[in-house]
Each structure stands twice: as C-alpha cells, then as structure tokens.
Chain A
Amino acid sequence: MVGFVLRRILGSLVTLLLLASIAFFAVNLLLPYDFAVGVGQRPGAIAFIREQLGLDRPLWVRWLDYLWHLVRGDLGTSFTGASVAGLVWGVLPVTVAIFAVGGIVAYLLGEWFGRWVAWSRSRLLKGASSTASVLAFTAFPPWLVFLLLFFVAEPLYRFRSFFGLAPIPARAHPGDILLVVLAVGLVAALVAGVLLRGWARRGDHRVLAATAFPGCLTLLAGILAASGLWGETVDRLLWPSALMATAALVVIAFGESMLVMRAGVSAELSEDYVFTARAKGLPGRLIRDRHVARNAVLPVISRLITSVPYLISGLIIIERQLSLEGVASLFFRAIEAADVPVILGILVVVGLVGLALRIVLDAVEAILDPRVRIEGRAR
C-alpha cells in the first residue's frame, strides 16, 4: 500500500513538471503584451524593466529557470515584487473553503437524490430530475449569480441585521487567520461526518447514521464557542457573498453527481445480488443503503474529483461575479497586468489540488477494490 502511494506520488511529480511547462508556454505565448509595456512608457524604460525582470532572456532559458525554482518548491516572484506563494496563500482559504463545502454538499445532495430517484423507479421523477440537473449543470454562471442576488441577497442582509451584524463581515479579508481555521474546521467536520455516517451505516447504527452530520457540526460549533470566538465566527459564517458563491457552486456541481449516482443505482438494481437479498427477506432500506449505494458511490466520487479543474474554473467565474476576494480577484488582476508568474502560480496550484485529490482517490479505490490493489502491485 505504501509502495503504491509512493509510486503514484513520483509519477505525479513528472505530471506536475509537464503541467508547469505546458502552462508556461501557453501563458507566455497567449498573452498579447508583457508586464513592462503596461508599466513603462518610453522605449528605454521598457527595455530597463524587461532587463530587471529577466524578460530579455530567451523563452527556453526562462522556462528552465521556472522549472528549477518549481522543483525546489518556489513558485517564483510576481512582477510586482511580491512572492507568488504568499499572494496565492493569501486568497486560497476563501476559495478552498467555498469549494470544499460546496463540493461536499453537492456530492451529498446528488448521492441522496440519485439514490432516491433510481430506487423509486418513477418515470416522472426520472424525467423531472434529468431536466433539472441538466439545466443546473449548464446554467450560465452570471445568470445564476443574478438570480441569487435578486432573491437571496436581501433576506440574507436582513438576517444579518437581525443578529445585529454589519452588512459585510468587518475583517473577512484575505489572510485572515480565523477564516483559515474556519475553512479547515468546516472541511474536517464534513469529512468526519461522511466517514462516520458511512461507518454507522455499515454497522446499521441508525441513530448514529442520522446524527453524524449534525453531531460533527455541533462539535465544531462547541469548540469555537469554548474558544470565545463565537461572535466573530458567526460574523464570517454569515458572509453573504461567500454563502451565495457556495450555493451557486452546489447548483453547478449537483447535476452531474445526481445523474451519475442515479445511473449507478439503476444499473446495480438489476444485479443478481439484489435479487438474492430480496429473496432472503432483507428490508428494502438495508438493500438500498448497505448494498446498492455502496457499489454505486465510487463512480460519483471519481467523477467529482476528475471534474475538479472545471469546477474550480466555474467557481472563479462565480467569485468574479460576486466580487469576492478569492482566487478569482488575483487571477483577473494578473491577466489584466500580464503578471505571468502569478497566472502560472494559480494554474500550478489548481493542478496540485487536482493531483492531490486524485492520489487520494486512487488510494481509496485501492482500499475498496482489491483488484486495483493487486494489479497495482503486479505492475
């Protein structure tokens, strides 16, 4: 198992270097002008700035230089002088928190709905859910954001003022430590909820399965309340634009996971083991949750994880629409200024997130499916 993961990580390093190279050439060749033109006016000044930033060197020298820095874990320096890693790290918590919470909620909703629709075998439900999920999946993000602003924003602000909070969290800015803590805590609580619920279902502890999520979230709330940061946490949790971005992401990611789950459950329903379980007299709920759903869940997870780069770009579009201070603001500012190292840094970090999640997925598959494990060893 350890060898399997190690080999995967080594292979991923090669992939990462390739990704960085492709991104390097794509960005350098596609951007219409370089940073110096945007800053300096006179030809002498432009040449001077180019020399300062090392832009006068040939492309391949800059490429090797970039890779050399990347191998040592250095994302380089922005043309404005700031460290790219610092800039990305500053905006990452907001985006990652929204992405993780939205992704997990979309997965849970999709899993639940897909299972329910496939299990009910109602053709009307099937048609309605297909239509709804295709429309959700292909929704034009600015339109979605407009709908949210039109219908949800007003009640959200009223809700905040009901608690005596200012319309916008006072100190929810990039690099806010509490935001990082909150992001990590929320993701940890949700993942713990998923794992605990799965374990409870396997052992058929019905009460535990039903209370896994509320329990984990209450535990998180309890820890935060005990640390005396409760008021500030609520302030950040009820951040209107972050909540709306999460909702929009859930809408976009939900459709796909619902369809995959539904197809998986429908296919499993015609398997012989379901027939046997019925003949044995097992209650339907047990067949559905313990046997069918567990076999159908893996494709849903893998589809979600392989579409991570697409979901992140969708989230960047949504963030830009809500003018949220996340990765989107950094990305669009960098494009505007042709700040190549920052654009590259964002692309590499997005790739890293996708890569890391895929290694986790491979490990999970290897644990769940002995065929993959043994084949991996034989190779």
Chain B
Amino acid sequence: MSQSPPVYHISGWRDTRRRVLRNKMVIAGLMILGFFAVLSFIHPVLQATVWSSRQSVYRPETGHDPTISNPSGPALAHPLGTDSLGRDVLSLVTYGLRPSFMVAVATALSAGVIGTLAGTSAAFFRGRYDRLMSHVADAFVLLPPPLIFLIASKRGLLGAFELGLLYGLFFGLGPAAVVVRSRSLAVMEKPFIEAARCAGGSPRWIITHHVLPDVLPHTAVVVLAGVVGALITQGFVEFLGIGEYRYGLGTLVYNALAYGMSLGTRAPWSSLLAGALSISLLAASFYLISAGLREVNDPRGGERRV
C-alpha cells in the first residue's frame, strides 16, 4: 500500500490566529491584560510564600505596617509603597482589580451575545422586524450606558457582575447591534451564501458556518471597545462610593486624594498612580486589542504599496 499524500487542510481559524498574533497592538494589549490577570490572582500566593511571616500586614483593607512611617514610597517590603493608613498598595491593587475584571467579563459576555443575536436576527429576517430593530438600536445608541450604569449603581443591590451585564445590555442592543446587523447584511449578499443555499445548506448551517465566522471578529471589535467605557464608569462609581460601599481601584484613587489632604500629608503619589494607572492600563489593554482586531479585519490593512 502506497503512502497517501498529506491532506491539504485549510483552516480559516488557524490563518486568522496567525494574522491576529502578528499584530503588535493585539500583542501589547494581551500582554497588559495577562499581567493584570496574574496580578488579580497573585495575592493568596504571595500571602502563602513571600509574606507568610507577616500576613496581617498585607491584608488588603485592614493591614497596617507599624514598622515604617506612612505613607511611604516604594521599597523592597512594599513594592508599591503604603498609603496614608499604612496599607500595602500592591495588595490593595490586587484586590481592587477583581471587580474591574468582573465588570469587563460581564459586559463583554452580555454585549457580545445580545449584540450578535439582535444584529444577525435583524439581518436574517429583514422586513418589518428589521425596521423595528433598527429604530430600537438607534434609540439605544443615543442612550449613554455610563449614565444608566451610574443610576443603577445607586441601587446598591447590584454587584459588579450585574452592573456589567446591564451595561452590556444597553451597549449590545445599541452600537453592537448596529455593527453586527450591517456586517451580516453585507455577508448575506455575497455569492458564497447563495452557493451554500443552492448546495442545500439549512439556514442554521449557513448562519453558524458562513455568517457567524465573518461577523464575530467585527462583534469583538465593538464589544471590546465598549468594555473600555464600562471599566472607566465602574472606576468612577467606586471613586464616588455611591450605592453600597465596595472596594475597587476607584476607591484607591479616592482614598489617596481624600486621606492625603485630610491628614495634611501630600497626596501619596505611589497609591494614586497605582490606582489611576491600573484603571487606565486595564481599559487601554481592551482598547488595544479592539483596535488591533480592527486592523486585522480590514484586509486592505493600510500597508499596501507606495
């Protein structure tokens, strides 16, 4: 029996992955995101290993280091310094990152799912349903989710995850649905959809195997850009402390400003910078991934001749 030649297999996903990972913005975004993801889980590990002799000092909200004068700048014992109350800023950051990640994940999930459903269904069914959905999407585009988020956080009952879901609902029915719908309409006009129909493809097969793979990257671009707004609004809600008191990166910024002034010391730069830059960089990582994906999606890609 002769050896059969290797099967030539074209995988759209593998090709996409290669192109995505070649984009510098995506790589930068993923690296920042990975760094913060590790940071948000690292606290228990550090408590068990490096800080095991003085665990109570590094407890995120109640810790206090009596051996130095507070606030203090970065040192070996406290890589990001301590705040005015003597708490270790690194452990505050690691705990503050958790609600931010919750909001980001919840927003991305709900905006992605709702936007995809609303957009593809409008493009698929057309007619009266499409016209209605377009008007609804227009209305949602004009309603700023950050303001709704601020109103809802007043309730105090909703946690970070629920608030993220709410933000995603408003974002998904608005901007995400608009983008997904126009993209799906463009795809459904293409000849390969007609070819698939002629070959006997069922609507479900066509949507899952031909329309969605084309639409999903574009959904990801809008949804990740939406996460930026959700993260900054969440930081602001924590900063204001409206609703129930919950600890977050915004609280870190607020404490640095408020305690720094009330205690008569200068604003502790290390904790102020750590809080504000963590929010900024986390949001920037999502924005970078979104912008990078947008570049990858555009096959013309700006980098042509001349």
Contact = CB atoms under 8 A, between A and B. Distances in A.
Contacts of B306: 269-270, 274-275
Given A31-B155, A32-B154, A141-B236, A259 B143 contact: no
Contacts of B142: 15, 19, 309, 350-351, 354-355
B151 A313 contact: no
Nearest to B282: A138
Interface size, A (range): 35 or more
Interface string A264-293: 001101100011000000000000000000
B79 interface: no
Interface string B252-278: 011001000000000100001000100
A351 B143 contact: yes
A137 interface: yes
B138 A15 contact: yes
Contacts of B155: 30-32
B299 to A, nearest CB: 12
Nearest to B156: A32
Contacts of A139: 280
A343 B142 CA distance: 15
Contact of A313 (B147, B175, B291): B147
B235 A138 contact: no
Interface residues of B, number: 50
Given A32-B157, A354-B142, A267 B148 contact: no
Contacts of B140: 19, 22
A327 to B, nearest CB: 10
Contacts of A19: 139-140, 142-143
A1 interface: no
A31 B280 contact: no
Contacts of A138: 228, 232, 280-281, 283-284, 287
Contacts of A263: 302
Interface in B134-181: 135-136, 138-144, 146-148, 150-152, 154-157, 175
Contacts of A346: 147
B61 to A, nearest CB: 20
Contact of A23 (B136, B143, B150, B288): B143
Interface in A11-39: 11, 14-16, 18-19, 22-23, 26-27, 30-32
Given A30-B148, A134-B287, A275-B306, A146 B272 contact: yes
A335 B150 CA distance: 9
A140 B232 contact: yes
Contacts of B304: 270
A310 B305 contact: no
A99 to B, nearest CB: 13
B146 A142 contact: no
B279 interface: yes
Contacts of B146: 310, 313-314, 317
B239 to A, nearest CB: 5
Interface string A164-194: 0000000000000000000000000000000
Nearest to A143: B276
Interface of B: 25, 135-136, 138-144, 146-148, 150-152, 154-157, 175, 228-229, 232-233, 235-236, 239-240, 242, 250, 253-254, 257, 267, 272, 276, 279-281, 283-284, 287-288, 291, 300, 302, 304-306
Instruction: List the 8 closest A-B pairs by CB distance, nearest first.
Output: A143-B276, A309-B144, A313-B146, A18-B139, A19-B139, A138-B283, A351-B142, A313-B144
30 contacts: A15-B135, A15-B138, A16-B139, A19-B139, A19-B140, A22-B136, A26-B143, A30-B148, A30-B154, A31-B151, A32-B155, A135-B284, A138-B228, A138-B284, A141-B236, A142-B239, A142-B253, A142-B254, A142-B276, A146-B276, A270-B306, A309-B141, A309-B142, A313-B144, A313-B233, A335-B151, A347-B147, A350-B142, A351-B139, A351-B142
